[in-house]
Amino acid sequence: MDGLTIVDHPLVQHKLTILRDRNTPVQLFRSAVRETATLLCYEVTRELPTELRAIETPIATTQSPAIAGNSGVYVVRTENVYALPNDAANIEQQRQALLQGQRMQGMGRVQEALKKSATIKDYRNKFF
């Protein structure tokens, strides 16, 4: 298929495993996304034409390969379009929602910790 690059490199497969794992922490997930993007870029640019250019190293002048041409070519395809918040009220609402979510997570953690450390007896059958 024209324009299709199949990437089966072990490093990419490893990074994809990290991305797919539901137990991957957010920071590791974000890092794996960046690293995967870099690795994919290497793979899809593997066939770019190169030409030898004269360069001067600290030791001597030599010929070294560089991407052919004087400028790069970028092909951009829009996948998604997102509306960004443009007023302070919307940003404040988002901030409040994030804070509320953090509070709820904290309460959930407290409840779980209490359940683990408490001795709980179920007496519901006496009431119903």
Strand (E) positions, the chain?
Answer: 50-56, 61-67
Answer yes or no: is 66 within a domain: no
What is the residue range of 18's domain?
7-46
The predicted pLDDT at position 35 comes to 92
Q: Which of 72, 52, 75, 74 is nearest to 63 (CA)?
A: 52
Q: pTM for this structure?
A: 0.46
Answer yes or no: is 35 within a domain: yes
**111-122: pLDDT as tens digits:** 777 777 777 676
Q: φ and ψ at 101, to 5 degrees?
A: -60, -40
Sign of CA dihedral 8, 79, 48, 31: negative
Answer yes or no: is 82 within a domain: no
Answer yes or no: is 38 within a domain: yes
The predicted pLDDT at position 83 comes to 63
Please state, in angstroms and as integers, the Cα–Cα distance from residue 23 to each residue in 7, 15, 26, 77, 108, following that order. Answer: 25, 14, 9, 32, 18
Answer yes or no: is 30 within a domain: yes
Answer yes or no: is 16 within a domain: yes
Structural domain count, the chain: 1
**45-85: pLDDT as tens digits:** 888 888 999 999 999 999 999 888 765 556 667 677 666 65
